[in-house]
Structure 1
Amino acid sequence: MIKRITLISASVALGCLATLVPVFTSLYVADKDVQRRDRAELREFAEKAVMRTDLVTYQAFAALSDLDREPGAPCSPSNLELAARVVYNYRYVQDAGAYTEGHYLCSPLLGDVRNNNFALPPPDYRSNDGYLVWFQQKSPLSDVRKDIQIGRNGRYVSIDPGSYVDLVDPARRPIAVIQITTGRLLAVSAGADPDDMLDAWKRSGNVNSDDWNYAVARSSTRPLGVVVKSPRSSVAGDWPKLLAAWLTIGVFAGAALGWLAYKRVSRQLSFPSTLQWAISRRKIDVVFQPIVRLEDNQCTGAEALVRWTLNERAISPEVFVRVAEDNHLIQPLTDLVLEKTIAQLGKLLTANPAFYVSINVGAEDLQSLRFLNRLGASLEGTGIAPAQIRIEATERSFMNAEATRSVIAAFRAAGHPIYIDDFGTGYSSLSYLQTFEIDVLKIDKSFVDTIVQDTASSVVAPHIISMAHELGLEIVAEGVETDAQVAWLRSKGVQYGQGWYYSKAMSAADLAKWLGKQRAPREANSMPANQS
């Protein structure tokens, strides 16, 4: 009897153990997975915060560049008018003006204060390229507020430190910005402990805490760094709630099944699911916009663009392409574009070996050889040369540099030139241009729009063009719409243009007709006189 009781007890214990071990194991694994996801999300948030620091700092330096363009006395009416325009044009610039050794001279906010003897202390930091930085400079207008002030050649701009950390974040995670060279804290979000954030930066985010996760990120263009933190999540810490939930399963089973059915129906009717249906049913159209050589107005190629009409309404590519990226549909969408491009332009490409078409490729396909292998298989036996299919990638596609670099090299080794699309809009580091082997840089339409205007952003296009020339890259200007833009671009050595000035995007059949009309006058002019 005792042996039987012992055996029963052992069986019950083993049964309980066999039941509980998987439960607690799953809780442990779930807790670790939650922590891993939290850290990954926090690292991504830190990268976004670094992009903000780069953007704010870029505006400060661009504003100083604008101030240097106006000759003459620093406090002349024209100089003060320019400074006021700079403050208005650059979102993060609070004030702009002139100074001399140890004193403010003037600004749109201060006015002309050369006789007021407003003292300016020595700078906290001097960069190797001549910039002076005051980390917490109190304005003569306020006894409370302290701005970051950046100066050079007697001109200065003031930046509110809060601009570095005012990211839209529903979770309100603490952020701090560090000047790496000096180790000084430039900005910290409301409610954050400055000492804690600075200590986390010194430890590279490796802080042993049961309550918080930390992450750090560095700017690749300026000596700035970011540290962020978020509360640790815990599944295991909520286990009493999980046990209590079992008591209510029977009551809520019917409601749960109904809810799941509702969610499934809602998912099937969601926009991502509709887009997935459209891709699988080949409802996405491909059109082609000519790329023209500015020197002789000859069309040398075209860009393949996607279009989608749903219920007789055109859906913007900026909307559905982003949805495709967020829902892992960008690869099948790119495959469909490739398939339709070869099917519709195959004869044109084989008949014109110098003509090419460029295809936009998402970030996922720049981190593996999947699309390159598919592209090679698709071209096999068609007579289309690899150089006739060119690859366009946006700046954000280069965020994962290590994985992307080898894939870019593989595309180029296979004969496919690489284009950087919408250059200048990604707020990412410009240093990748020197580390990646690319062939062509495309200037975004937003910068082309300003090239013949006297605006703050009109200085961007010349900088991009100069940079491309120094790196030996060809240039395509997007969004060309006027004669003045064409003349300016040609004078700056830009080789190619693309935009409504030449043609809107069109079907493959219309492109062939358009090319025929473009070539007819040239062929007539090239005929010998006795045949004309």
Structure 2
Amino acid sequence: MIKRYTLISVSIALGCLATIGPVLTSLYVANREVETRDRQEIRDFASKAMMRTELVTFQSFAALSDLDLEPGAPCSPSSLEQAARVIYNYRYVQDAGAYADGRYLCSPLLGDVRTQDLTLPPPDYRSNDGFLVWFRQKSPLSDVRKDLMVGRNGHYVSIDPESYVDLIDPSRRPIATIQTTTGTVMAVSAGTDPDEMLNAWKHGGNVKSKEWNYAVALSSTRPLAVVVKSPRSSIVGDWPKLLAAWLTIGVVSGAALGWLAYKRITRQLSFTSTLEWAISRRKIDVVYQPIVRLADNECVGVEALVRWKLQGRAISPEVFVRVAEENHLIQPLTDLVLEKTFAQLGELLSANPSFYVSINVSSEDLCTFRFLNLLASSLKGTSIAARQIRIEATERSFMNTDATRGVIAAFRAAGHPIYIDDFGTGYSSLAYLQTFEIDVLKIDKSFVDTIAQETASSVVAPHIIAMAHELHLEIVAEGVESGFQATWLREKGVQYAQGWYYAKAMSARDLATWLGKQRQPRHADSLPSI
């Protein structure tokens, strides 16, 4: 029983898990999908930001090429006019002009400043193809502004660094552009920490953070990188539709699994499943009620009966046998009775060839040869004769005439006498008595109770007895509870009786003791113990 309670407890736990598990799983899956979509989106955005970086860089190189097209001397009217066209034609170019020997010479915005000695420091980076780069060059036109300046062949262009990170982004994600050869942050969006973005670039965007995702995009033509930073999405706030969808799936799945778990638990707690559990664990007891020969009151055999106690309370056989029949448990129940009968009475039957035990067989086992084969297998290797195992069947079992007739004949051919149990309470027709070969009729207790009484059913027992005599069948009267009934039955020619007047159903051990006491006056040797 402890194991059963454990099974039920586990089932309840599984039911709870089945109910909340899918919801939790759906939340987990939704969160993972949000993360995946977050990372994909930030990678896509980083790629777009890199396209901007390459476009701005390309314009600076193209503007310098256009300045080289003017063949005139530096700061000549034609060269200044060409520089003005460059500033106009390229949207990201803020200024364009000439320099030499570490000094600004001229530009359309500065004018001719060769006499002003506006110095230009050494470049921060020199490329292999001749470009010079000043990453944060203070413009002579402003006291606060610092431009990114690119020069070659004595010409330069100035670019506002914000041009690299000035993207339309409703989320206003932080962006940084980095020159990868020197590891210099060329541009960052407003409020962005350059050191943080530089660290993210160094780690390829793989920065552990509970609040932020990072993505890095690299240029395929220039030593440039873009780093984008984006807050991790809140599964509730940022993905309401996705969350709703997954929660709906989780709740529906959880409800379905929970209902199945509930049904399983209900089944585990049901009477039918409890009976199934008891049969499978051999918790059903078998007791034996003596059958007495009325002529000399000698016990000639017993009927094997089932008993079941559930939590200390006896369950009526009429209840649980009917449940077993209705739920396809009657065959394993009968098999258990046969197994225990051989185990408990085998020695007694072997030592007393005239002693027998009758076993109740269901209608299911009277339609096939399954139980007959099992019985034959059980008898093999023992000294128990087939006639010592008798088959009892209720009248209901004979209703399926065609299927039953052959099986009944096979039982008798194998040497097992056939009893009709509770005669008169079921099919109540003489037709099947003429169709089937049987050996014994058992008069139901309800008719024995009316013997010599003035009731409507008091005439049934005499009619059954008379009919059995006409058919040359032996008779066993059930439920005999008084000496008067026993005498009346004996006088009417009934051969055998069983009931509380002789003995109640008892265990195999108590039966051995009872038999010893009953036969002691007749036999010097007692029956073997069990």
Aligned equivalent of 1:413: 413
Aligned equivalent of 1:518: 518
Aligned equivalent of 1:274: 274
**1:439 matches 2:439:** yes
CA distance in 1, matches of 2:268, 2:473: 46
CA distance in 2, matches of 1:262, 1:510: 44
| Secondary structure at the counterpart of residue 446 of structure 1 | helix
**Maintained 8 Å contact 2:391/2:419:** yes
Aligned equivalent of 1:474: 474
CA distance in 2, matches of 1:352, 1:471: 29
CA distance in 2, matches of 1:358, 1:325: 19
Give the C-alpha shift of residue 344 in structure 1: 0.3
> Counterpart amino acid of 1:343?
A
> Counterpart amino acid of 2:409?
A
Give the C-alpha shift of residue 463 in structure 1: 0.7
CA distance in 1, matches of 2:523, 2:329: 44
Give the C-alpha shift of residue 249 in structure 1: 9.5
**1:508 matches 2:508:** yes
**Maintained 8 Å contact 2:353/2:385:** yes
| Secondary structure at the counterpart of residue 338 of structure 1 | helix
Aligned equivalent of 2:304: 304
**Maintained 8 Å contact 1:353/1:388:** yes
Q: Deviations over 1:273-297 (max 9, x none)?
A: 1111101111000000000000011
**1:395 matches 2:395:** yes
Aligned equivalent of 1:264: 264
Aligned equivalent of 2:486: 486
| Secondary structure at the counterpart of residue 421 of structure 1 | strand
CA distance in 2, matches of 1:336, 1:466: 37
| Secondary structure at the counterpart of residue 522 of structure 1 | coil
Q: How does 1:229-268 map to 2 (within 5 A)?
A: 252-268=252-268
Q: Deviations over 1:380-432 (max 9, x none)?
A: 11110000000000011111110000000000000000000011111443310
CA distance in 1, matches of 2:338, 2:497: 23
CA distance in 1, matches of 2:427, 2:367: 21
Give the C-alpha shift of residue 523 in structure 1: 3.2
Aligned equivalent of 1:115: none
Aligned equivalent of 1:332: 332
Aligned equivalent of 2:461: 461
Q: Deviations over 1:253-288 (max 9, x none)?
A: 443322111111111111111111101111000000
The TM-score, its normalising length taken from structure 2, stands at 0.51
| Secondary structure at the counterpart of residue 521 of structure 1 | coil
Identity %: 81
**1:348 matches 2:330:** no
The TM-score, its normalising length taken from structure 1, stands at 0.51
CA distance in 2, matches of 1:296, 1:251: 75
| Secondary structure at the counterpart of residue 457 of structure 2 | helix
CA distance in 1, matches of 2:352, 2:453: 38
Aligned equivalent of 2:150: none
**Maintained 8 Å contact 2:395/2:426:** yes
**Maintained 8 Å contact 1:452/1:458:** yes
- Taking only aligned residues, the RMSD between alpha carbons, in angstroms, comes to 1.7
**Maintained 8 Å contact 1:396/1:428:** no
Q: Deviations over 1:284-316 (max 9, x none)?
A: 000000000000111100000000011000000
> Counterpart amino acid of 1:463?
H
**Maintained 8 Å contact 1:452/1:484:** no
CA distance in 1, matches of 2:371, 2:424: 26
Q: 1:270 to 1:380 in 2, by over 3 A?
A: same
> Counterpart amino acid of 1:267?
R
| Secondary structure at the counterpart of residue 288 of structure 2 | strand
CA distance in 2, matches of 1:378, 1:340: 11
> Counterpart amino acid of 1:273?
S
In structure 2, stretches of 5+ residues that fail to align are 1-247, 526-530
**Maintained 8 Å contact 2:399/2:427:** no
Q: How does 1:21-32 map to 2 (within 5 A)?
A: none
Give the C-alpha shift of residue 455 in structure 1: 0.9
Q: How does 1:358-373 map to 2 (within 5 A)?
A: 358-373=358-373
**Maintained 8 Å contact 1:293/1:299:** yes
CA distance in 1, matches of 2:353, 2:276: 35
Aligned equivalent of 2:120: none
Q: Deviations over 1:473-512 (max 9, x none)?
A: 0000000011110111011100000000000000111111
**1:386 matches 2:381:** no
Q: Deviations over 1:98-121 (max 9, x none)?
A: xxxxxxxxxxxxxxxxxxxxxxxx
Q: Deviations over 1:340-359 (max 9, x none)?
A: 00010011001100000000
CA distance in 2, matches of 1:497, 1:308: 25
Aligned equivalent of 1:321: 321
> Counterpart amino acid of 1:509?
R
Aligned equivalent of 2:497: 497
> Counterpart amino acid of 1:439?
D
| Secondary structure at the counterpart of residue 273 of structure 1 | helix
Q: Deviations over 1:110-157 (max 9, x none)?
A: xxxxxxxxxxxxxxxxxxxxxxxxxxxxxxxxxxxxxxxxxxxxxxxx
Give the C-alpha shift of residue 251 in structure 1: 7.8
| Secondary structure at the counterpart of residue 501 of structure 1 | coil
Q: Deviations over 1:22-41 (max 9, x none)?
A: xxxxxxxxxxxxxxxxxxxx
**Maintained 8 Å contact 1:480/1:500:** yes
In structure 1, stretches of 5+ residues that fail to align are 1-247, 526-532
> Counterpart amino acid of 1:297?
N
CA distance in 2, matches of 1:351, 1:257: 58
Aligned equivalent of 1:357: 357
CA distance in 1, matches of 2:358, 2:429: 24
CA distance in 2, matches of 1:487, 1:517: 23
| Secondary structure at the counterpart of residue 373 of structure 1 | helix
CA distance in 1, matches of 2:456, 2:354: 39
> Counterpart amino acid of 1:501?
Y
Aligned equivalent of 1:51: none
**1:430 matches 2:430:** yes
> Counterpart amino acid of 2:488?
W
Q: Deviations over 1:331-370 (max 9, x none)?
A: 0000000000001001100110000000000010000000
CA distance in 2, matches of 1:349, 1:251: 63
CA distance in 2, matches of 1:291, 1:455: 27
